[in-house]
Amino acid sequence: ALSAIPLDYCYFEYCCVIYTYSRIHKRVK
């Protein structure tokens, strides 16, 4: 169970980063 948490967390973080980057990129553009 413990090893499953980091994977989900990393995936969630990755999605957040992409989402944030997309918003910033659109704003700058």
pLDDT number for residue 10: 61
Tokens of 10: 């990393």
Range of the domain at 6: 1-29
Q: What is the pTM of this model?
A: 0.38
- Polymer length in residues for the chain: 29
Written as one string, the DSSP assignment of 2-28 is: TTHHHHHHHHHHHHHHHHHHHHHHHHH
Tally of structural domains, the chain: 1
- pLDDT digits 0-9 by tens, 1-29: 455 556 666 677 777 788 888 888 787 65
> Of 19, 13, 17, nearest to 5 (Cα)?
13
> Of 29, 26, 6, nearest to 18 (Cα)?
26
